[in-house]
Amino acid sequence: MRAWVSCTGAALLAGDATGWAARLAHAQAGQMSEVQRAQRESWRALVVTLQAALREAGGESWQVLLELDLLRLEKRIDAVLLTDRAILVLEYKHGAAGFAAPDLAQVEDYALDLFDFHAASRAHPVVPVLLASGAAPPANAWPLFFQGVTPVLRANPSSLGALLRDIQAAIPAPAAPLDPLAWGAAPYRPVPTIIEAARRLFDRHGVEAIATARAGARNLTRTTDAIRHAIGGARAAGERRVVFVTGIPGAGKTLCGLNLAFGPWPDAGAETGAAFLTGNAPLVAVLRGALERDARDRQGRGARQPRREARTVLQNVHRFLEHHVRHAGEAPPEHVVVFDEAQRAWDAAQAGRDTQRRSSILSTSEPGHMLEIMARVPGWSVIVALIGQGQEINTGEAGLAEWGRAIAAGGGAWRAVAAPRALSATEPAQRLAEGHPPWLALDEDLDLVVPIRSIHHDRGAQWVAAVLEERPEEAAAIAAGGGLPFFLTRDLGALRQALRERARGLRRVGLVCSAKAKRLRAEGLGAQLHGADDEVVNWFLCRWPDVRASDALEVCATEYACQGLELDSVGLAWGGDFIRGAQGWQARRFAGTAWQRVASPETRRHLRNTYRVLLTRARQDTLIFVPRGDAGDATRPPSEADAVAAYLQRCGVALL
């Protein structure tokens, strides 16, 4: 992190406010941004206020940081004051006559961002303060419990000094005082949401600049470099290649793909460009909606051009295939396409099946059609197939094996490169081939194994796998390591209350459930979000008090609506479609008035993967609600729910 101005309180007091404003204006001009007169006056007024407050609070020895960059949010904190015992985060609203809810959320989110992603901001309280220059003297709830990120405090220019003095007096002196130099040098490693990442990549920022979570940045950069190396090799040799990128849930596969579609291409020819193809319609709708809203709200642009650009890059893979099958002589304009969730590509039976919404014109599997279509591109072409292993959730999703069959059937027209994991999966459908075929090269860097979605715990995906794959001792051992971000409750009211408490700042929370959990309607959770474009866009992008938003906590997103997307905190409602039986997990479907056991191994696997998807949507934590059931309702016996709850606790889940 870097502040435009960093000085002691004494140094700030010694300077003229107009001079400090000029220094800030010079810093902004250095970033090729125009400095408005109103902005210069706002800076001058802020410095005047800070100077008076520091004198009153005795803050001459404190460190003052003005315009501190927060890269994840592409915004800057107006001021940060580092005392010997606290980090004070100030957002200044020049001319504001009150304390608006969006402004309170903004400064709270700044404080949460520091606490979550800045290594030196966890050892001391982080106190967000909203400073409104035109407001009447506000009242604050006092005393506060100074731990982590406190509730937002309010101040106007006349009350700020006393507030800072009271904060300093209320916090006990720590054994090790806060060191401003060490604080400034500590790593700031933000983890962007997939929506934030798409916005930044759309503005042509590289993935390396926005994903720096723990070792995840090195893992993500290494994989990105491996993909680019394979693409460069195909271009140089005039070859056709499929690059398979595997990885655990939340490791950044989609981020890699978006980077190829949106990000900068170093040393690339003008013909290089990539389209991002996915069968995940909700993901496309949400990302397109986010880019359009960002262009309108932040950039002041009309929506038409960003909408056109987003639709060019973000495409529905089924429509892409159907278009090029209908136009047999037409080659795609891109030499590179990214096939997101490529393990979900349809087999021949599903691809050729007519539905109520469409009449299929596909004659073979989607991998087979994709290879034929991209072979039309003159000279060379590359398909980057992003593989979310263990996340197939629909009948007809062919898995990695179908890609191997299609490549092998091509008579040597295509070569492939993948990590060794692509050959060693336990389930045959997830193996690219048996043995090591001659058309396949191996590259370990194409496997993403470091999670970047989960902010505070790096073994959540491993815990989920152990829970779902009947390894409770392994799951309990992971939980025993501390910090497991999963909690259990049997009370729906407690679930909603806990989620509301987590919806601080701009953090997003929401309810999810399996689409087959039909008897959750008896708990008042009958409304489900399956993926209709407008509904899912509003669920992910609107905020409470908009009742369409996820944090209204009224509608559960199913696996079809949330796969590939994420929330900060998730409330997972466990349904009767996946329960504990004598032989472990038992998959069921609800028909008429009763549950029926699922006999098909493929369908059982899909239902287990449904819960894998739902359990890996959270960046912060997942709160699991297991209903208590009803002894008078044969479809919801308490014994079944109790068995699920007991198993989860055996796996190390703590009670909420």
Confidence of residue 215 (pLDDT cuts 50, 70, 90): very low
**What are the pLDDT digits (tens) for 443-483?**
999 998 877 777 778 789 899 999 999 999 999 999 999 99
pLDDT at 588: 97
Tell me if 453 is assigned to some domain. no
Residue bearing the bigger pLDDT, 496 or 393:
496
Residues 153 and 228 in one domain: no
Confidence of residue 300 (pLDDT cuts 50, 70, 90): low
Tell me if 444 is assigned to some domain. yes
**What are the pLDDT digits (tens) for 178-187?**
999 999 999 8
Residues 395 and 271 in one domain: yes
Residues 495 and 407 in one domain: no
Cα 365 to the center of its chain, rounded Å:
31
Last residue of a domain, one of 150, 185, 220: 185
Average pLDDT, the chain: 88
**pTM to 2 decimal places:** 0.84
**What are the pLDDT digits (tens) for 185-213?**
998 877 777 787 777 666 654 444 444 44
Alpha-carbon span 440 to 345, nearest angstrom: 20
pLDDT at 394: 62
Confidence of residue 74 (pLDDT cuts 50, 70, 90): low
pLDDT at 114: 94
Which span out of 139-143, 390-394, 409-413, 488-492 was modeled with the highest average pLDDT? Answer: 488-492
Residues 317 and 242 in one domain: yes
Tell me if 289 is assigned to some domain. yes
Tell me if 454 is assigned to some domain. no
Residues 324 and 349 in one domain: yes
Domain of residue 488 covers 460-655
Tell me if 376 is assigned to some domain. yes
25-55: b or e for each residue (b if 16 or more CB lie within 10 Å)?
bebbeeeeeebeeebbebbbbbbbbbbebbe
Last residue of a domain, one of 448, 476, 492: 448
Tell me if 108 is assigned to some domain. yes
Residue bearing the bigger pLDDT, 646 or 285:
646
Q: What is the mean pLDDT of residues 364-385?
A: 94
Tell me if 60 is assigned to some domain. yes
- With tokens 């699920």, the residue in question is 644
Residues 367 and 434 in one domain: yes
Residues 624 and 484 in one domain: yes
Last residue of a domain, one of 185, 213, 234: 185
Q: What is the mean pLDDT of residues 242-256?
A: 86
Q: What is the mean pLDDT of residues 380-391?
A: 85
Identity (one letter) of the amino acid at 161? G
pLDDT at 376: 97
Residues 386 and 240 in one domain: yes
Q: Is the pLDDT of residue 531 over 90?
A: no
Number of domains composing the chain: 3
Residues 216 and 179 in one domain: no
Residues 360 and 494 in one domain: no
Which span out of 237-251, 267-281, 638-652 was modeled with the highest average pLDDT? Answer: 638-652
Residue bearing the bigger pLDDT, 100 or 352:
100
Strand 336-340 to 594-597 pairing: unpaired
pLDDT at 329: 85
Contact residues for 552 (Cβ-Cβ < 8 A; gap 6+): 544, 545, 546
pLDDT at 73: 55
Angle formed by the axes of helices 304-313 and 194-202, nearest 10°? 110
Report the alpha-carbon angle 151-157-162, nearest 5.
65
Confidence of residue 299 (pLDDT cuts 50, 70, 90): low
Q: What is the mean pLDDT of residues 352-371?
A: 76
Domain CATH code at residue 229: 3.40.50
Contact 166, 59 (CB under 8 A): no
Closest CA to 515 of 536, 537, 530, 525: 530
Residues 168 and 129 in one domain: yes
Tell me if 455 is assigned to some domain. no
Residues 27 and 110 in one domain: yes
Report CA-CA distances (Å) from 5 to 28, 66, 312.
Answer: 11, 5, 42
